[in-house]
């Protein structure tokens, strides 16, 4: 007989431990961990062919902004750079930025897989979601924003899951 079985105290301790574990799970002292729900957010639309995402685009403001990189002045017009669905969101920045209200204009063209984003502090023609045409005036630039140190911040984003921004040059605008 092995020496293990010759120690009755050790055997009794192992049996008591086994019974204790069994009873603790039986009366739910250790409830099972909850299952986590996995949420996968799909991209807004399917990625589109790159040829649909190329310019030239309508300039979002004055010609000097697109051709020379000049600053947009208060009152300068803002234009839709392509046909699409326009929506706006207004947010207030923290006190360190003078509680500025900044409007973000989103212009989405699902057929081309593009999104144009304008950050501005000016007047917007219509803040309700609506369809706009390329070249349509959508608002006017306001004062220089403290946070961005500009009157207009503009970008075009390709519709890929990673949302790659287009590197824009003068050649990309009409």
Average of per-residue pLDDT values in the chain:
74
pLDDT tens sequence across 113-170: 788 888 888 888 877 888 999 889 998 988 888 877 888 887 777 765 555 555 555 5
The answer to whether the beta carbons of residues 59 and 76 sit under 8 Å apart is no
Q: Residue 58: helix, strand or coil by DSSP? A: coil
165 against 17, higher pLDDT: 17
In the chain, % of residues over pLDDT 90: 1
What average pLDDT score do residues 84-90 get? Answer: 88
Percent of the chain with pLDDT over 70: 67
Domain ranges of the chain: 50-172
Cα–Cα distance, 60 to 77 (Å, whole number): 8
Q: What does the alpha-carbon distance between residue 86 and residue 117 come to, in Å, rounded to a whole number?
A: 10
pLDDT of residue 61 exceeding 60, the answer is: yes
Q: How far apart are CA 173 and CA 55, in angstroms?
A: 7
Question: Options 3.40.190.10, 3.40.1180.10, 2.40.30.170, 2.70.70.10; which CATH number does 50-172 get?
Answer: 2.70.70.10
pTM: 0.62
Give me the pLDDT at residue 116, please.
84
Inter-residue contact 112 to 52 (CB < 8 Å): yes
């Amino acid at each position: 007989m092995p020496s293990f079985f010759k120690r009755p105290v050790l055997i009794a301790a192992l049996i008591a431990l086994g019974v204790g574990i069994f009873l603790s799970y039986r009366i739910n002292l250790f409830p099972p961990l909850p299952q986590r729900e996995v949420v996968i957010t799909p991209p807004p639309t399917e990625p589109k062919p790159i040829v649909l995402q190329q310019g030239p685009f309508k300039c979002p403001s004055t010609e000097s902004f697109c051709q020379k990189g000049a600053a947009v002045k208060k009152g300068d017009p803002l234009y839709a750079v392509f046909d699409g669905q326009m929506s706006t969101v207004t947010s207030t920045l923290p006190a360190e930025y003078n509680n500025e209200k900044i409007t973000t204009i989103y212009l989405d063209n699902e057929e081309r897989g593009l999104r144009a984003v304008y950050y501005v502090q000016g007047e917007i023609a219509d803040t309700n979601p609506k369809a706009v045409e390329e070249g349509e005036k959508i608002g006017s630039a306001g004062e220089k924003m403290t946070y961005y140190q500009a009157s207009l911040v503009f970008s075009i984003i390709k519709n890929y899951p990673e949302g790659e921004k287009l590197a824009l040059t003068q050649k990309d605008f009409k």
